[in-house]
Chains A and B, each alone.
Chain A
């Protein structure tokens, strides 16, 4: 069915059974990976206490694992990895530029305000 009032882009991105098998294999791989990462995070959180010397490294590990999980969700599940480069960066650039800067400035500022105003009052 061809209609000339419908612009076609990627609407008919059909694939056959063969390609489907490959895609499903990848999906299950990512599923297992995400589950294992979550399990590792909970295990680390339960094993290492927040007042221990290793905690700052655990914290960094958590953040790295979170970004890894997010990457897999966005690029595989949301298929952003398969989109055109220009679209990909249009979506990711605001984050790479703005959010990282905002995180840096807000957290730094938070520490100084906490120190300047004194201990928290409930």
Chain B
């Protein structure tokens, strides 16, 4: 039978209404609960990634080989850029915790300064991720090639520079025979190789122009098999002059889809299809969290500057957004390890 409780709770007792059994405010508790559920989402994604990776074994790309470029410096810097991104995010987490600390001293100027620094760090991180995505999507100079037996191989080595294209048969745009084309060479070259418009050192451009390709020779080319064929098995390595010639003959075959550059949702040059999908989804979902965090931080910063929290008597709002921001950093620590390091 419904009735009133057998004895009234004193409102000062735990669960009595006036005291938090967890010694924390409602808002902060709910932020923690949200973070627990969000962490389970990321945990699920990373475990799904681990499952697929253990399933694929040797076919899976190696992080330090896939991510070895730096802006302005080119290749040969394994993982340095991601490490820099990690450092940026850690530092922005530090400035956030300093903002929270300033809030505890009711130091409005301090909170403003550190929160602004956090926002700048967040923008730097999102920008870095955009660069990383762009690089991942465009891919390497070599691409991934399909061999005659149906196997697929990623290519390492030194890619000879493309000097120019010389027009042999004029088209609608390049109308002069003997004209030298010198801009956007690599992009045009790759596009033609993937589309089967490159045959025996002659390239067919969009406008119908046929041109000869002046390119330095590739050297130290190595083909590492990433998909089984009838002859080559995953993990096999072809090197020396035969590998170099084989690579040259494949991209110069004039056949479509023999080489893949970069990545999209259907295929990528680094490894199995799922690798690209997990990359886009996990780093994208994390990037989305960072971006939301930056927006939330900006809103809170406006509140700080207006004095909303100062007149409230405490800066708990900063603390709550801080929790979210640290969480984003926390997730990145795991993404960094499981996507890039191991």
Contact = CB atoms under 8 A, between A and B. Distances in A.
Interface of A: 1, 7, 9-17, 20, 23-24, 27-28, 30-31, 34-35, 38-39, 41-42, 45-46, 50, 59, 62-63, 65-66, 69-70, 73-74, 76-78, 83-84, 86-87, 90-91, 94-95, 99, 102-103, 106-107, 109-111, 113-114, 117, 119-122
B105 interface: yes
Interface string B111-134: 000000000000000000000000
A86 B22 contact: yes
Contact of B86 (A24, A38, A70): A38
Contacts of A65: 337
B87 interface: yes
Contacts of B43: 95, 99, 102
Main secondary structure of the interface of B (DSSP, over half): helix
A9 to B, nearest CB: 5
A18 B1 CA distance: 57
Nearest to B11: A7
Given A10-B25, A73-B93, A110 B334 contact: no
B225 to A, nearest CB: 11
8 contacts: A38-B90, A41-B83, A66-B334, A73-B93, A77-B94, A107-B54, A119-B233, A122-B267
Given A9-B25, A24-B98, A86-B22, A42 B83 contact: yes
Contacts of A103: 47, 50
B16 to A, nearest CB: 11
Interface stretch (B2-10, B58-66, B189-197, B287-295): B58-66
Given A23-B101, A94-B36, A77 B23 contact: no
Interface string B94-108: 101110011011100
A98 B249 CA distance: 52
A111 to B, nearest CB: 5
B18 A122 contact: no
B48 interface: yes
B163 interface: no
A34 B23 CA distance: 29
Nearest to B101: A23
Interface stretch (B198-206, B239-247, B323-331): B323-331
Nearest to A68: B333
A119 B59 contact: yes
Contacts of A20: 101-102, 104-105
A66 B55 contact: no
Contacts of A15: 104-105
A66 B322 CA distance: 21
A45 B64 contact: yes
B78 A45 contact: yes
A94 B41 CA distance: 13
B23 A83 contact: yes
A27 B48 CA distance: 34
B47 A45 contact: no
Contacts of B23: 9-10, 83-84, 87
